[in-house]
């Protein structure tokens, strides 16, 4: 009789562990997805009409989150790209910059920034009539 109780207890514990593992694997992705804010994507194409071109754009975010900036395409000869994200509310502590010499498609950087009013500044240098397309994903 004691052996049957031990087997029954072992089977019950194994079943509880199996159900909890299945529940964790089922619910975890849903919880993580619910916590992630919706990312907005902006695609910026810059045509180098001069050897150095400056592009500015204001972006307002309502939630903290991850910014991802990626070079999507390059046509021609682009020698350097400098990307600056400035928080207009608190520029000393919540701003970032990224410089890439001889950029290539797929180069990217990621930064976590709080919600606020931002100015995105892109400086591109290279041969005239070259183009570069940059994708910015932000919360």
Strand locations in the chain (E): 40-47, 52-61, 65-75, 78-87, 96-101, 108-113, 116-126, 131-138
pTM here is 0.70
pLDDT at 26 over 80: no
In angstroms, the CA 85 to CA 107 distance is 17
Q: Which pLDDT does position 119 carry in this prediction?
A: 93
**Residue 35 clears pLDDT 80, i.e. is over it:** no
Residue whose C-alpha is closest to residue 105's, from 129, 86, 81: 81
CB 60 within 8 A of CB 120: no
Bridge partner residues of 45 (DSSP):
133
Superfamily of domain 40-138: Galactose-binding domain-like (2.60.120.260)
Q: Where are the domains of the chain?
A: 1-35, 40-138
């Amino acid at each position: 009789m004691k052996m049957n109780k031990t087997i029954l207890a072992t089977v019950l514990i194994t079943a509880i562990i199996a159900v909890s593992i299945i529940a964790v694997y089922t619910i975890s992705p849903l919880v993580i997805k619910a916590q992630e804010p919706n990312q907005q994507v902006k695609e910026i194409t810059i045509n180098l009409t001069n050897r150095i071109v400056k592009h500015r754009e204001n972006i307002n975010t309502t939630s903290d989150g991850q910014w991802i900036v990626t070079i999507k395409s390059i046509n021609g000869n682009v020698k350097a790209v400098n990307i600056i994200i400035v928080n207009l509310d608190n520029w000393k502590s919540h701003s970032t910059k990224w410089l890439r010499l001889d950029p290539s498609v797929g180069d990217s950087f990621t930064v976590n920034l709080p919600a606020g009013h931002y100015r995105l500044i892109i400086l591109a240098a290279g041969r005239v009539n070259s183009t570069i397309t940059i994708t910015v994903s932000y919360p």
